[in-house]
């Protein structure tokens, strides 16, 4: 089982409701994605903390139903 881009968006939106999210399937296999996420919630946070917020939103799916997720995050 894999996650769709829509599934990933829903998980992130649940934790970061104001996020603007763009998901790209890098290999067309529904298993390797690039997520671009913009949220005011990231303001003042390091990239590491921003990425941790996203990985926490995805939870146990990372490494199981989702193999690879490249992140680009920003507060604007």
Which domains are present in the chain?
5-74 (3.30.300.90)
Q: Is the pLDDT of residue 63 over 90?
A: no
Q: How many residues does the chain have?
A: 76
CB-based contact 35:16 (threshold 8 Å): no
**Token reading at 24:** 């790209």
For the segment 32-55, what is each residue's pLDDT rounded down to a tens digit? 999 999 999 999 999 999 999 999
Please name which of 9, 4, 12, 20 lies closest in space to residue 74, comparing C-alpha atoms. 20
Reported confidence tier of residue 26, pLDDT bands at 50, 70, 90: very high
The confidence score (pLDDT) of residue 47 equals: 98
The confidence score (pLDDT) of residue 16 equals: 98
% the chain with pLDDT above 90? 86
The confidence score (pLDDT) of residue 9 equals: 98
N- to C-terminal Cα separation, the chain:
34
Confidence (pTM): 0.92
**Torsions phi, psi for 20 (to 5 deg):** -100, 120
């Amino acid at each position: 089982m894999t996650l769709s881009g829509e599934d990933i968006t829903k998980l992130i939106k649940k934790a970061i409701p104001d996020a603007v999210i763009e998901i790209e399937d890098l290999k067309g296999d529904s298993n390797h994605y690039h997520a671009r996420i913009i949220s005011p919630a990231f303001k003042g946070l390091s990239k590491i903390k921003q990425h941790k917020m996203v990985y926490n939103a995805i939870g146990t799916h990372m490494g199981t139903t989702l193999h690879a997720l490249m992140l680009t995050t920003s507060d604007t």
